[in-house]
């Protein structure tokens, strides 16, 4: 996973972040490449939440949209003796 995919998964627009705060994006990219995404999230949680509000991803890319299938409970039919 790269930083761009990570930011999209966190509903942050990576293009707007990169254009408006390029230094922050570069430092995030260096740090992200050196650690696991879960560790990055734990370390930068408060920044991520602020960035999510500031650079909200307006529309999810088509490739990341997964159709949810409605789960149907199977009917239990009593056995005849």
Kindly list the averaged pLDDT for each block of 10 residues, start to end, along the chain of length 81.
Answer: 92 93 94 93 93 86 55 77 69
Using alpha carbons only, how large is the chain's radius of gyration in Å? 20
Return the pLDDT at 70. Answer: 64
Task: State residue 12 phi and psi, 5-degree precision.
Answer: -115, 135
For residue 35, the model assigns a pLDDT of: 93
- Number of separate helices (H) and strands (E) present in the chain: 5, 0
- Distance between first and last Cα of the chain: 56
pTM value is: 0.67
């Amino acid at each position: 996973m790269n930083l761009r995919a990570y930011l999209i998964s966190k509903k942050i627009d990576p293009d707007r972040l990169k254009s408006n705060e390029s230094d922050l994006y570069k430092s995030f990219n260096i740090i992200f490449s050196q650690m696991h995404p879960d560790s990055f999230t734990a370390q930068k949680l408060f920044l991520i939440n602020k960035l999510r509000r500031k650079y909200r991803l307006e529309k999810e890319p088509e490739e990341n949209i997964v159709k949810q299938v409605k789960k149907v409970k199977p009917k239990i039919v009593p056995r005849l003796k």
